[in-house]
């Protein structure tokens, strides 16, 4: 089951499976999201909860016990309850259950709200600790946008422009975990020129990120802006040759190679006290090419 919301400029479709955005179209019916072609990757915009990336041996360690938890957690494969819908907004909810507690031993409530206004889609997730002890958690967004974007600009003309210069070294995954050794940033000033060979060694992980927004597109062509004011980490990923680029604001990332401690000490997690709610949000603004007058 899915829900469709829209404005005069955008139409978004969200599935109850994973509360996942599965389609984003402009007023001309052009698709801006990846279509989930299984030849490359079936995802479109999964929500990452309660972990981002992988943990060592797919297990978290909590107070001396181990719990099996797969890559990116279980929200993306869980069916959410549709709590509210109107023409421009919808809200989904996932609550802890016997199944989730067997993998992540913390009672929680996760609410996700999608809102379309003009040319902007907002996605706001709220995680509440409904238990009686502290709850460590991570959260991430994983939207896959078309590469190239609609309107005809060539693939090799696409770039990502960061809000700030990003000179700090990046990290790379290795067998699912974050490598010890950093790599020089591929960002030149504020510009990342996209090419397939950037991703032969998997994703680019920005764990010392200065920017809280990026713009993706081609000079003179279509672009989109992704704002993430409260998300301190960023992943950028594709499979070489695939027709998508993922721009992924995160709170947290995969386990570092040398980390084997309690989940509460995992780099990138935040701790919620009983009854506390933490908010995570992004906005995506679609920007068609500006037509030049004759």
What pLDDT, on a 0 to 100 scale, did the predictor assign at position 238?
98
What pLDDT, on a 0 to 100 scale, did the predictor assign at position 292?
45
Average pLDDT of the residues in 46-62:
97
Average pLDDT of the residues in 15-41:
96
When pLDDT is cut at 50, 70 and 90, the band that residue 290 belongs to is: confident
- Determine the Cα–Cα distance for residues 76 and 72; give it in Å rounded to an integer: 8
What pLDDT, on a 0 to 100 scale, did the predictor assign at position 291?
60
What pLDDT, on a 0 to 100 scale, did the predictor assign at position 294?
37
Tens digit of each residue's pLDDT (9 = 90 or more) over 238-286: 999 999 999 999 999 999 999 999 999 999 999 999 999 999 999 999 9
Identify whether the C-beta of residue 44 lies closer than 8 Å to the C-beta of residue 18. Answer: no
Average pLDDT of the residues in 14-23:
98
Tokens of 94: 């996932």
Residue 68 has pLDDT above 50, yes or no: yes
Average pLDDT of the residues in 146-166:
96
Maximum distance among all Cα pairs of the chain, rounded to whole angstroms: 70
Q: Where are the domains of the chain?
A: 2-287
| CATH code given to domain 2-287 | 2.70.98.10
Q: Give the Cβ contact number of residue 98 at 10 Å.
A: 6
- Please report, rounded to a whole number, the percentage of residues in the chain having pLDDT higher than 70: 99
Identify whether the C-beta of residue 23 lies closer than 8 Å to the C-beta of residue 45. Answer: no
Average pLDDT of the residues in 133-137:
97
Residue 105 has pLDDT above 90, yes or no: yes
Q: What is the 3-state secondary structure (H, E, C) of the chain?
A: CEEEEECCCEEEEEECECCEEEEEEECCCCECECCCCCCCCCCCCCEEECCCCCCHHHEEEECCEEEECCCCECHHHCECEEEEEECCEEEEEEECCHHHHCCCCCCEEEEEEEEEECCEEEEEEEEEECCCCCEEECEEECCEEECCCCCCCCHHHEEEEECCCCCCCEECEECCEECCCCECCCCECCEEECCHHHHCCCCEEECCCCCCEEEEEECCCCEEEEECCCCCEEEEECCCCCCEEEEEEEECCCCECCCCCCHHHCCCCEEECCCCEEEEEEEEEEECCCCCCC
Average pLDDT of the residues in 188-194:
97
Tens digit of each residue's pLDDT (9 = 90 or more) over 180-190: 999 999 999 99
Average pLDDT of the residues in 194-218:
97
Q: Give the Cβ contact number of residue 200 at 10 Å.
A: 8
Q: What do you get for the CA distance between the two ends of the chain, in Å?
A: 46
Average pLDDT of the residues in 10-16:
98
Residue 82 has pLDDT above 90, yes or no: yes
Q: Give the Cβ contact number of residue 230 at 10 Å.
A: 12
- Conformation bin of residue 36: beta by default, left when phi > 0, alpha when psi is -120 to 50: left
What average pLDDT is seen over the chain? 96
């Amino acid at each position: 089951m899915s829900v469709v919301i829209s404005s005069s400029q955008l139409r978004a479709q969200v599935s109850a499976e994973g509360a996942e955005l599965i389609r984003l179209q402009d007023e001309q019916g052009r698709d801006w999201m990846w279509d989930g072609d299984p030849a490359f990757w079936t995802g479109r915009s999964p929500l990452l909860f309660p972990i981002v990336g992988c943990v060592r041996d797919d297990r978290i360690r909590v107070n001396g016990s181990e719990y099996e938890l797969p890559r990116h957690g279980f929200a993306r494969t869980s069916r959410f309850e549709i709590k509210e819908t109107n023409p421009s907004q919808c809200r989904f909810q996932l609550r802890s259950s016997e199944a989730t507690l067997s993998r992540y031993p913390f009672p929680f409530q996760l609410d996700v709200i999608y809102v379309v206004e003009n040319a902007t889609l907002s996605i706001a997730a709220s995680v509440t600790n409904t238990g009686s002890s502290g709850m460590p958690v991570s959260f991430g967004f994983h939207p896959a946008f078309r590469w190239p974007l609609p309107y005809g600009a060539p693939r090799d003309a696409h770039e990502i422009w960061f809000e700030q210069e990003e000179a700090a070294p990046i990290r790379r995954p290795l067998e699912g975990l974050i490598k010890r050794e950093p790599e020089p940033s591929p960002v030149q000033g504020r510009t990342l020129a996209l090419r397939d060979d950037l991703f032969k060694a998997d994703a680019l992980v920005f764990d010392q990120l200065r920017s809280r927004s990026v713009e993706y597109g081609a000079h003179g062509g279509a672009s989109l802006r992704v704002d993430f004011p409260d998300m301190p980490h960023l992943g950028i990923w594709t499979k070489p040759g695939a027709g998508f680029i993922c721009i992924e604001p995160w709170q947290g990332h995969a386990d570092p190679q040398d980390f084997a401690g309690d989940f509460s000490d995992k780099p990138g997690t935040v701790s919620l006290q009983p009854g506390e709610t933490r908010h995570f949000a992004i906005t995506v603004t679609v920007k068609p090419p500006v037509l030049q007058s004759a």
